[in-house]
Amino acid sequence: MSRLRILLILVLVLAASGCAIHVDTFRDYDEPLQEIVLQGEAKAKVLVIPVRGIVSTSPSEGLVSRGPSLVQEVVSHLNRAQDDPDVRAVVLQIDSPGGTVVASEILYNEVMRWRERTGTKVVALQMGVAASGGYMASLAGDVIVAHPSTVTGSIGTLFISPNVAGLMDKLGVSAEVYKSGSHKDIGSPLRDATDEERVIMQAMIDEMNGRFLALVAQRRGLDRTALEDVADARVLTAQQALVLGLVDRVGYVQDALDEAKRLADMPGDARVVVYRRTKFAEDNLYNSATNDYQGRTPVLMDLGLPALSGAGVSGFCHLWAPDFD
């Protein structure tokens, strides 16, 4: 029996029985962030901040749970570190395909402004995926380190809007829209776009993407020729990104930590710290959670359903979303 069929059966059973699932949203997120030391004994600290998942300002939604948005959680970490003079370097541990245009720009801007306020060095460590808005977050680093198997790049912009017009036709369903202007419902999923609307939307995408490319050129020092090589928004391996100048080196987590210590002129035994809301036994740097419920969904049963990288995302995005192909 397929997973989708199992899910549908469960939904029907719950609906038929009149059951309602009560979940305490943001469970445990009312707990303050606490510092956990993972390595080292010196006074100076390197703070590792996970940047994981879709870049958004909206709460993360599970099947029966909610949590803070990625932007909210990263800013919480930065605010927590701001008053600690011993935090002399930050490693952004990025594993993200990107997200909305606005959220991606906010995340980049928040890290940059925090750097200016504190004078703290920042290293961007790219993990599995650091594409599109995930790459934009990397641009906030003084140095970018890509894991040897990282997928990065995808420097581009798209507009995502579902189109259910064909389905409505098959079902014999239609919608009447009353509007004040001819383009008031541009991007509507209820009908196909007109040629004029496609021109309008493409102009908006080009403008937003122009800001992205200008930021890449500024932060990475790329000339026009090099910028043209990445302007087609393809994804890249770590080695390809290194050749194009999009990252500074290829390495592992410890290499990024060593780079952070070097930039901030810190001793080799500087403390490596993370902020958690829940303590974990035998914690280490490969635990990207800040909470016992982050990174997994506290549901009544695990349905084993695959997650789509761009599920639930719409509008203008800096996002690598192969699941939509």
pLDDT value at position 86? 97
The answer to which of 5-9, 42-46, 224-228, 312-316 has the lowest mean pLDDT is 5-9
8 A C-beta contact, residue 320 and residue 132:
yes
- For the entire predicted model, the pTM comes to 0.81
Enzyme catalytic residues:
132, 184
8 A C-beta contact, residue 8 and residue 228:
no
Average pLDDT, the chain: 83
**For residue range 240-259, what is the model confidence (pLDDT) as tens digits?**
999 999 999 999 999 999 99
85 pLDDT higher than 50: yes
Tell me the pLDDT band of 293, cut-offs 50, 70 and 90.
Answer: very low
Tell me the pLDDT band of 303, cut-offs 50, 70 and 90.
Answer: very low
Tell me the pLDDT band of 305, cut-offs 50, 70 and 90.
Answer: very low
pLDDT value at position 181? 81
Contacts of 13 (CB under 8 A, 6+ apart): none
* Between 280 and 88, residue with greater pLDDT: 88
CA distance 151 to 149: 7
The answer to which of 18-27, 70-79, 200-209 has the lowest mean pLDDT is 18-27
The answer to which of 8-22, 178-192, 211-225 has the lowest mean pLDDT is 8-22
User: Residues 139-153: what's their mean pLDDT?
Assistant: 97
CATH T-level fold of 22-173+189-296+310-324: 2-enoyl-CoA Hydratase; Chain A, domain 1 (3.90.226)
Would you mind telling me the total number of residues written for the chain in this entry? 325
* Between 168 and 275, residue with greater pLDDT: 275
pLDDT value at position 279? 82
pLDDT value at position 292? 47
pLDDT value at position 291? 59
Tell me the pLDDT band of 62, cut-offs 50, 70 and 90.
Answer: low
Return the amino acid letter for 83: D
299 pLDDT higher than 50: no
